[in-house]
Structure 1
Amino acid sequence: MPRTFSAELIGTFILVFFGCGAAVIAGADGTSGVGLTGIALAFGLSIVAAAYGLGAISGAHLNPAVSLGVLVAGRMTPAAFVTYVIAQVIGALAAATVLWLIASGSAGWTGGLGTNGYGPGYLGEYSLTSALTFEVVMTFLFVTVILGATGPGASAGFAGLAIGLTLTAIHLVGIKVTGVSVNPARSIGPALLEGGRALSQLWVFILAPLAGGLLAGMVNRIGLTRAD
């Protein structure tokens, strides 16, 4: 269990630091930074790195919604679920802290940490309904892919790539909607440090991904998305 805890902590650190770091440090301005496509790739590639580097230890969930889906699908115990979630949140907060330490050293930093949001003033200014719908549906699809790619009958060795590419695709579609959470830990870490609006809207990025993960786990449990 200590190795599982450390693997989930480090893996979630990789995801949040690389993904949010691409947005905060490398920039969303396509003329002078990596642009939205670059940010999407950073999130996806970080999953690939963590999956192949740490997946053999913990399965590289890196996400409470994924762990909830795995729990509901009957593939982990409640005690393990709690351990995973604690490690994931700590890893995300640690990554946000390191990102803050680096970004705050720039004279041009505006205080953002790649937090999720919605509504007036946030990226595409999508509504709460849009944000909830996007996060539930995309998390359902993401966790469904994860359960399938790591389940019976899946092609050995390709899970990390399939999962990373799926997360990239989700970001390509939805960065303008919510900044893309599909992961409560990814949202919690940066929001706790940034505070303000990000913190007040955090409930959306906890409840909606958990609902999507729960639904994916239920559908898998009854066999609709399971190969065996």
Structure 2
Amino acid sequence: MEVKSSTKYFAELVGTFALVLFGCGAAVVSGVSLTGPAGIGILGIAFAFGLAVLVMCYAIGGISGCHINPAITIAMLVAGKINGKDAVGYIIAQLIGAVIGAAVLYCIQNGLNGWIPGEWALGSNGWGEGYGAGYNMTSAFIAEAVLTFLFLFVIFGSTGKWGNGAMAGMAIGLTLTLIHMVAIPITGTSVNPARSFGPAIFAGGKAMAQLWLFVVAPVVGGIAAALVWRAVEKK
């Protein structure tokens, strides 16, 4: 059964909305305790992002493929698995969904007595002094590009002709969890330009100034994975 393009775009919007709200929401609301050092921590945040992707894979995977990430959409375009018109529609929908997710999170946080948005508010991505462990721009770029490459390689492998389609969502979600375990101290983990775009719109400041890296590096990594996978498929 053919799915209408508008239905695919709406699915991508909802899926990206859910990813930002669940993932960034876990980082902002539950990542640290308001009364002490306890909280879900890096492991909990990593699983929040991974589980968000996993559940959305099964919810909308049959509709749109569950990209919910412009880097994935661009990689799929390079690999010839989506046409240009749908790629543009997907990316626009993803960016809108991410902004709505960040807006909802902003409204929730705004109801917390004494909450003042920081420099990288709402789970925004960043690097340098004052962010995470203080890694520099080069480390941030390498981490985002290489981890996005591995993420896309798993996606191509698990959804391709040699993969197990029924288990693809599990593989993809767990890979994103692993990625967050590594990258949270470095950049807060993006590997997804839309996920970075939504919170940065509301955080402004350094989050917006550094947004370019979280667009360029994931796209570079995604395109590299698409080209490698095309070469693998031809063998």
Scaled by the length of structure 1, the TM-score of the pair is 0.96
Write the distance in 2 (CA, Å) between the matches of 1:110 and 1:38. 24
- The amino acid of 2:30's aligned partner reads A
Match of 1:138 in 2: 147
Aligned residue among 36, 41, 44 for 1:35: 41
Match of 1:20 in 2: 24
Match of 2:223 in 1: 214
SS of equivalent residue, structure 2 residue 194: helix
> Counterparts in 2 of 1:101-112, with a 5 A limit?
101-111=107-117, 112=121
| Deviation (angstroms), 1:227 | 8.6
| Deviation (angstroms), 1:182 | 0.2
| Deviation (angstroms), 1:107 | 1.8
Match of 1:92 in 2: 98
State which drifts further: 121-130 or 147-156: 147-156
SS of equivalent residue, structure 2 residue 45: helix
Match of 2:203 in 1: 194
Match of 2:72 in 1: 66
Write the distance in 1 (CA, Å) between the matches of 2:115 and 2:7. 36
- The amino acid of 1:152's aligned partner reads K
Match of 1:10 in 2: 14
Write the distance in 2 (CA, Å) between the matches of 1:150 and 1:227. 16
Write the distance in 2 (CA, Å) between the matches of 1:203 and 1:79. 24
Match of 1:177 in 2: 186
Write the distance in 1 (CA, Å) between the matches of 2:234 and 2:163. 8
| Deviation (angstroms), 1:156 | 2.6
Match of 1:50 in 2: 56
- The amino acid of 1:209's aligned partner reads P
- The amino acid of 1:52's aligned partner reads Y
State which drifts further: 107-116 or 26-35: 26-35
Residue ranges of structure 1 left out of the alignment (5+ in a row): none
- The amino acid of 1:100's aligned partner reads Y
Write the distance in 1 (CA, Å) between the matches of 2:52 and 2:7. 20
- The amino acid of 2:219's aligned partner reads L
Write the distance in 2 (CA, Å) between the matches of 1:168 and 1:11. 17
Q: Percent identity?
A: 51
Whether 1:115 aligns to 2:119 is no
- The amino acid of 2:165's aligned partner reads A
Write the distance in 1 (CA, Å) between the matches of 2:234 and 2:40. 39
Match of 2:82 in 1: 76
Q: Given that residues 28 and 36 in structure 1 are in contact (C-alpha distance below 8 angstroms), is that contact kept between their aligned partners in structure 2?
A: no
Write the distance in 2 (CA, Å) between the matches of 1:4 and 1:59. 8
SS of equivalent residue, structure 2 residue 153: helix
Scaled by the length of structure 2, the TM-score of the pair is 0.93
